[in-house]
Structures are given as structure tokens and as C-alpha cells.
Structure 1
Amino acid sequence: MPAPDNIYENDVDFTTLALQYPQFAKKLKPNGQLDFSDPESVRQLTKSLLHRDFDLAIDLPEDRLCPPVPNRFNYILFIQRLLDDTSPDWHEGYDPNRSVIGLDIGTGSSAIYPLLACRQRPAWRFLATDIDEKNRTYALQNIAANSLEARIKLLDTDPTGQTLIPVEEIVRMGIERIDTVMTNPPFYPSSESLLESAHKKSRPPNSSCTGAPIEMITPGGEVAFVSQLIDESYSLSLSKARQETSGRRLQIQWFSSMLGKLSSVSDIVEALKSRDCTNFAVTEFVQGSQAPKKAKTRRWCVAWSWMGFRPGVNVARGVSGSSGVEKRLLPAPTEYDFEVEVAAADTDTDVGAVERKLNQEMAKLDSIKWRYLSERRVGMFLSPQGDVWSRKARRKKQQQQTQQAQSQTQVHQTTTTNKDKTRARGNPEDPEADQDEEMTNRGQVSNDQAEDEGKDHEDEEDEEPALVVRISVIPPIIPSTTSTASTSKNTKVHIHIRHLHGQEPVLFESFCGWLKRKMTTT
């Protein structure tokens, strides 16, 4: 199903929930409130919400983390939208036929992320890891209790935590591509920092914490944990590192992590930029009532990819003005809009003129692929080589053509000179000698060319296009004849450009600027 709206955007109605679940009702106060400092009350809330809203039945140990369902569901919604926006075939929106494989690092006793993801989307499967034996035991039980053993697999992983992604085991399973890696790492670098954080709170925490130290604490805290994941993801992105002894290689499209501290967002984004990663997303998860004065639980999430498939603005820059995330930490925009003025008298005719001009401008470009669907008023533009539209690109092409022509002339002159020398040394009465030599040379060149072309073809299979965009032509909304605005002589056609693929945001900006100039200049 398409990514649904957040059903927990507002507070959960405890009274209604209590009518359906007697065990939860026992924990509800007479005034309809819940004691979040009581671990059993929190566990009953989690169990009841999972069963009512997702038909999931789970068991939770008393000495491990109890996941808040609204927060965890927010993360799944984000992953759904991220993948819907970055389909490898540039499909627009949710594709029910797309088979997705996810990896949850540190799945916990509940295995809540794989359970929610697979319950939401039938074509999704998940792998999961955890280094705590008790968590693994409960996770396996919860997966089996919901009859999802065929779609959720718990993997063995490095118990020391030195390696987060179990690449070798995944490859042994015959899996060559994972669509998303997600994790909710421990927040704290030490037990002292955990206690210090608790003491600094101006009010008691609104939820009990039953997590074991292994779930709450990791050396260096969440920043060190996610930085390690960035390093592993970068290594996997390198072609040599991806190649396995079996001849297969593991590709992962998206990596992501929830973050509990606002300061961590800056650290993680800077770590990505230091690796020259330009394709990332920053979002926030806000729980609680929409009333501005009410306390809210806020978490953040950073996702990144070493591939070129880019999400739309709403997904990539999914933070509000009150999120606390600085604008400099957000990725480059992946959408661009401008308007073309047309006469209002005959809108269909003038929109057609805009479409013709768009197609004409595309026809002037070399080495690109362009397809426009007039019935949908949408075009797909693909440039394997990058910039072929700017003056600089045109001048460079002219220089290359001139150099190529000069090189061909020199080769021809050299060949002619060599033949003349051969005739002078050989038998002038034996013309077949020249023919044999020429055929031999041709054969050698042909073999070399075939070998080079084969190598080029292999490289092209791995090469990503430099730029892919979707261009939508949106007709103006014509006011009714009774409106005073209908007397206007002009109206505007809207052009929307969506960056679908490419590693260079500057290239997208350049293309948008070029197209706007061409379309708005008469």
C-alpha cells in the first residue's frame, strides 16, 4: 500500500483503546491518563497498539527496551516514502510489484521494524541482527508468532560490534542487493553520561526506560555508531570492495539511522560531506499533540546513499522550521519550478506550443535521451555524459571534433607515407603485397577495436547516468467566466523539474537554469 498518513499524528485515545483491550484498561487511571513511569503500563500500550492497528502480537521481556509504536511507525513511513521516491526504474510513487529487502541493525526483542514493514507491504522482506542473546530469542518468537518466518530472517552477526553489516552471510544467502539499512543505535557513550542526562532533565521523563545497558550504551555514543556505519557503507560503495570471492557483489541503496540528539545531526551530515556524499536526506519524527504548547518527543533521522537515485524535496528535506536543524545541513533541492506566460484565450493551443518548444530545445542537444508523453504532459530526460547544453559544453565539443579531424588527417598522411616507403623497398610489380598488408592491418585494428568496445560495454553496465530528470508541463487553471480575472489576456503554464538521478546537484541546477532561459525567452 502507499505510505499512509501518520495515524499517530495526534495523541492516542486511551479511553477508546481501553474498551478494546482489558489488560490495558487495568493500567488506565480513572481520569483516562496513563502512568508512563510504570513499565508494565508502557508494555501494555505497545502491545495493544500493535495488535489493534497492525494485527501484530508480540511478547516483551521486562528488562529490555519497550519500543514506542508511534515513533517506530514514523521511521517506517519515512523509509517507505524514501524508497517510493527513488525507484531504480524511476517509477513514480508506490510500486506494489517492487520487491524490497531491508536490513535492521539491532532489531531488539520486539523486531518491531521488520514486523511493521512486512505487515504494511506484502512484497517486502527483512533481514535483522542483534548481538544480545535475549533480544534474539524474543525476536525469533515474535517473528514466528506473526507467521512471518518466510519474510523476516534473523542473521548471525559480529558479537563484538566491530562489524555492523554481515556482508558475508548476506552474500551466502544469494542476496546481491539490499534496498534499505536502518538502525536505532544506543544514544549514550557511557553509563555516566546516561545518568547525567537523566539528572539534567527539568522534569521527570514521560516514559519509563527498561533498556539493558547493551541497548542504551555504546562507546562513543550514537555518533560513533553511525560514523562506523558510514565507513562500512562507503567501503561497500567501492567497486573493488563490493566484489566477493563468489563473483557476486552486494549493493545497498539506502542507509539510515534514527538519532536521539539534535547535535548528532550536524556531526553525521558533516561526516557524510567529508566523504563527498551529496545524496542524503534529513527528517524529523515528532510525537504528541499538535498543540504547540504541549511537550513533544522529537527524534531525527539521517539517510544517505552512494547511488544516484534522489528523493523529492518533501522526503529529502523533511524538517520543519522548529526542528532545530540548520539549513546548511540540508541536502540540495531536487525540484525546480518556473512559469511560461501564454495567452489565456486558447489555453490548449498555447500549452501545446509550450510542449513543442520544449521538444524542440531537447532535439537540439546531442548525446541525450528524451521521451515526452503528451497524454500525461510528462517528459523523461537522460544525459549519460552530463552537461551537453551550456556554451562551455558546446565549445568543448567543437574543440574535440576539430582535434579528432586533425588526428584522422595525421593518421591518413602517416599511412600513405609508410606505404610509399614499403613500395620503394619491395617489389613494385607485386600489388598483392600491398593488399595483404592492408588486410592484415585492418584485421589487427578490428580486433583491438572489438576488445576496446567490449571493455567499454562492461564499463557502461556499471556506469550511472550523469543526470536524469522528469519534466512536467502543468496547464494553468482557468478562472470561471464570471470571475473578473477571466478578462486577463495572459496566463501561465507551470513547469516542474524533478531531479531523479545524478551525483552532482550543480549539474541539476545548471540544467534547470538553461531550460528556464530557453523556455521563457522569446
Structure 2
Amino acid sequence: MTTKTALHPRNKHRHGYDFTRLIKSYPALSVLIKKNEFNQKETIDFSNSEAVKALNSALLKSYYGISHWDFPQSYLCPPIPGRVDYIHYLADLLKHSATNLAAINMPSKVKVLDIGTGATCIYPILGATEYGWHFVASDIDPVSVKTASVNVSANSHITKKVQCRLQENAKHIFQGIIKAGEFYQLTLCNPPFHKSIDDATAGTTRKWHNLNKSAKNFNKNTLNFGGQSAELWCQGGELAFIRQMIKESIGFHKQVLWFTCLVSNKDHLSKIKLSLKKAKVSQFKVIKMAQGQKISRFIAWSFFDTNL
């Protein structure tokens, strides 16, 4: 198997998919394996919703001990290797701040807030299993919160490490979720990217055609490109969402060490940085990640000076 050196060094999936191991832990995957027409290696049809969900279920069971993981068909199905990369880079961010945490009087238990956790609750599951972190997982969608809670409670080794909370006001991000007296070392977020449902549908269509699928077979609710409206789009898109996040973070500047958020469009970075400067943060960083040929990144900002 070819080494994917672009993935984080601690990422368990940087060497590709070990289908022998995955099928052993999740036999249902076996009937969904196919040969890549170019190199004849084992793979799955990534446009097949059943295959994508089975692959993720196998990865979670084999590598993270997650025996139950389910969600409604119309909700987003996240790629595990990319999601866990974000977790590993966050761990590095914390490690690099550790030498000065004593001066800031940080709690020893790492607590993380996941904004928009989704029905799969994927980031808390990965962070709790990989690093033993404790999470608050928030979402504006009641079905997502209920399903995420079921996924957590069904896996005893993470049950006490993840708490799911409903954000009752869709206009707020941190308000109503971060409670008085709470402190978080990290917040993380995969924000809604698109500006409208039409924009989101167009993006899904492009992905479908990139897999060389016939337009007549296109289904906008295909699982691996699916998602509820709150998962895919918001007024103003990704940039507006992150700007609101920065604005709200000011009010919680003493309760969070590092605020972070994925940024899909690199052209948004200059405007995001300007908003951070206006918010008078003590520091911010852009941390790049890569999965194969795709480059992704997240922005991190803090009102604490951990560089002293």
C-alpha cells in the first residue's frame, strides 16, 4: 500500500485502507469491495452511499472501538481520515502551548467544544478515543443531537466523555452553549460552506460528475454528498459564519484557550484575518492539512498569549 505522507504522521489511515482488517471487524463491507479499474487494487464505489457508510463503520469499529454508529440517510457521512487529521493537528496545537499553560492556570483535563457536531458526532468520537478528551457536542438540529446522543451512549468507553447540547437559537454559536464557569482548551467546527440551498446543490452536482457518474443517476440526497440544510449552507456562507464566530468569541475570551474553525475557501483567509485583528485577539495561526491532492486548513485564534 502506498504511504499517504500528506496525512498527519499519527493518522492511522495514512497507509490507505487495510480491507482485510476492515472486513474482519465489519463483515458487511466485504460485498461492497471492488477492484480499481486503473490499478486493480481493492477499493469501494465512493458514489455508493451504502459502501461509504460501511467503510466508515468498519474504520470506526476496527481502529476506534466504536461498535454502534448510525444516522438518518439524509445526513452527512464524514470521511474518517480527514476528520481525524483535524483532531491530530489540534493535539499538536495544544502541545505547542503546553509550556506556558501553567502560567495561564489551565485545568488539567482537556475539554473541547464541537460546534455543529452533526448526527454522526464524529469529532467527539475521534477525539475521545484518540486522546481521551472530554467534549461538549452542540448542534441546532434536534435530530442531530438525539442521534449523536444515541451514538455516544451506545459505546460505553466514550459515554462519560461526550455531552450533547442543543443550540436553541440558530443565530448564536457559543451563546447558550458555553456555560458560566466552564473552560475549554479548544473549540472546533466544520462550518456550513454554501450561501444557499441552490449553491449547495450545485456543489453536490460537481462532486458527482467528478466521479464520472451519469447525470441521469444523480440524486441530490446521495449519502456521501448529502446533508441537511444546516450542515451545508447558511446566510452568507462560510465567511459570514466564521465572522460571527469571531464576534461571539470576544465574549468568551476568558473561557477558551484556542478557538478554531475549518476554512474551505483559502480566498476567505484575508478577510478572516482582518476580522481577527479587529477583535484584538492575542494571536492567530493558519494550520494547513492535506488528504491526497486536497489541501485543507483551519484557523486558530486565542485571546491568551501562549508564546510568552
1:178 aligns with 2:184: yes
Give the AA of the match of 1:281.
Answer: K
TM-score, structure 1 length as denominator?
0.50
Cα contact 1:158–1:166 (8 A) shared by 2: no
Kindly report the root-mean-square deviation, in angstroms, between the aligned alpha carbons of the 2 structures.
2.6
| Residues 18-69 of structure 1, C-alpha deviations (whole Å, 9 max, x = no match) | 3442111111115522100011111011111111111123112211011110
Measured after TM superposition, the shift of residue 212 of structure 1 is 1.6
Partner of 1:141: 150
Give the AA of the match of 1:82.
Answer: L
Query: Which of 246, 253, 259 in structure 2 is aligned with 1:255?
Result: 259
Cα contact 1:105–1:130 (8 A) shared by 2: yes
Cα contact 2:165–2:177 (8 A) shared by 1: no
Cα contact 1:103–1:128 (8 A) shared by 2: yes
Q: Flag the structure with larger Rg.
A: 1
Query: Which of 133, 136, 142 in structure 2 is aligned with 1:127?
Result: 136
| Residues 355-377 of structure 1, C-alpha deviations (whole Å, 9 max, x = no match) | xxxxxxxxxxxxxxxxxxxxxxx
Partner of 1:319: none
Partner of 1:191: 197
Partner of 1:60: 71
Evaluate the alpha carbon distance shift between residue 73 and residue 202 of structure 1 in structure 2; reply closer, same or farther with a 3 A threshold: closer
The alignment-based identity, stated in percent, is 30
Measured after TM superposition, the shift of residue 202 of structure 1 is 9.9
Partner of 1:49: 59
Partner of 2:286: 282
Partner of 1:9: 14
Partner of 1:219: 235
Cα contact 1:66–1:210 (8 A) shared by 2: yes
Partner of 1:267: 271
Evaluate the alpha carbon distance shift between residue 157 and residue 84 of structure 1 in structure 2; reply closer, same or farther with a 3 A threshold: same
Cα contact 2:282–2:304 (8 A) shared by 1: no
Query: Which of 156, 162, 166 in structure 1 is aligned with 2:171?
Result: 162
Partner of 2:248: 232
Higher RCO (CA < 8 A, seq sep 6+): 2
| Residues 180-233 of structure 1, C-alpha deviations (whole Å, 9 max, x = no match) | 111111110102222333455695259931212221111111111111110011
Q: How does 1:442-481 map to 2 (within 5 A)?
A: none
Q: Mind listing any 5+ residue stretches in structure 2 that lack a counterpart?
A: 1-7, 213-222
Q: Distance in 2 between matches of 1:194 and 1:156?
A: 24
Q: Distance in 2 between matches of 1:26 and 1:225?
A: 41
1:80 aligns with 2:114: no
Q: Distance in 1 between matches of 2:202 and 2:11?
A: 33
Q: Distance in 1 between matches of 2:208 and 2:100?
A: 50
Aligned with 2:119: secondary structure? coil
Partner of 1:242: none
| Residues 376-408 of structure 1, C-alpha deviations (whole Å, 9 max, x = no match) | xxxxxxxxxxxxxxxxxxxxxxxxxxxxxxxxx
1:114 aligns with 2:124: yes
| Residues 483-512 of structure 1, C-alpha deviations (whole Å, 9 max, x = no match) | xxxxxxxxxxxxxxxxx32xxxxxxxxxxx
Partner of 2:23: 18
Evaluate the alpha carbon distance shift between residue 199 and residue 169 of structure 1 in structure 2; reply closer, same or farther with a 3 A threshold: closer
Aligned with 1:129: secondary structure? strand
TM-score, structure 2 length as denominator?
0.83
Aligned with 1:170: secondary structure? coil
| Residues 105-150 of structure 1, C-alpha deviations (whole Å, 9 max, x = no match) | 111111111111111223x211111111211111000110112332
Partner of 1:367: none
Partner of 1:71: 82
